[in-house]
Amino acid sequence: MQSRIFGCLLAAGLLLASAPATAHHSLYAVFDEEQSVTLKGLVSKVEWVNPHVYLYLDVTDESGKVSTWSVETFPPTTLRRAGLTREKLGQGEMVTLLGYKARNGTPLAFLRKLTFADGRELLISLGDIKTVK
């Protein structure tokens, strides 16, 4: 009986201790999947960090005004499995991306498809990421 109580208490303790580790924002709470955005610009910065890699893209509009967009992607491990490394996604790279816009109207997007100047593409869907040559 004592071992059963101990086991239940141990399981409850482990569940409570792991709750902060599973905390994560909802993609759809921040980004609107109904609002796509296509951006073409120069990668000005890459933050290759957990939990998500961030790209900063300098986009020039028709009037010549440059705005910097923050683009959230997947974790570094996920991108590496798809063949994308920090070195392959460097500063100064010209890219076109398709993403979901932020709900709050700021220049923030979640990456769905990344196209490099040489035609290589990285397609991203929830639960799947692949490089298309």
Question: Rounded to two decimals, what is the model's pTM?
Answer: 0.74
Interval 27-83: pLDDT, tens: 778 999 899 999 999 999 999 999 999 999 999 999 999 999 999 998 999 888 888
Model confidence at 128, pLDDT cuts 50, 70, 90, reads low
113 has pLDDT over 50: yes
* Tens digit of each residue's pLDDT (9 = 90 or more) over 41-54: 999 999 999 999 99
How much is the pLDDT for 11? 45
Examine the pLDDT at 9 and tell me if it is beyond 50.
no
The pLDDT score that the predictor gives to residue 64 is: 96
Residue 114 neighbours by CB under 8 Å, 6+ apart: 95, 96, 97, 121, 122, 124
Domains present along the chain, CATH in parentheses: 34-132 (2.40.50.1010)
pLDDT of the residue at 2: 66
pLDDT, position 86: 86
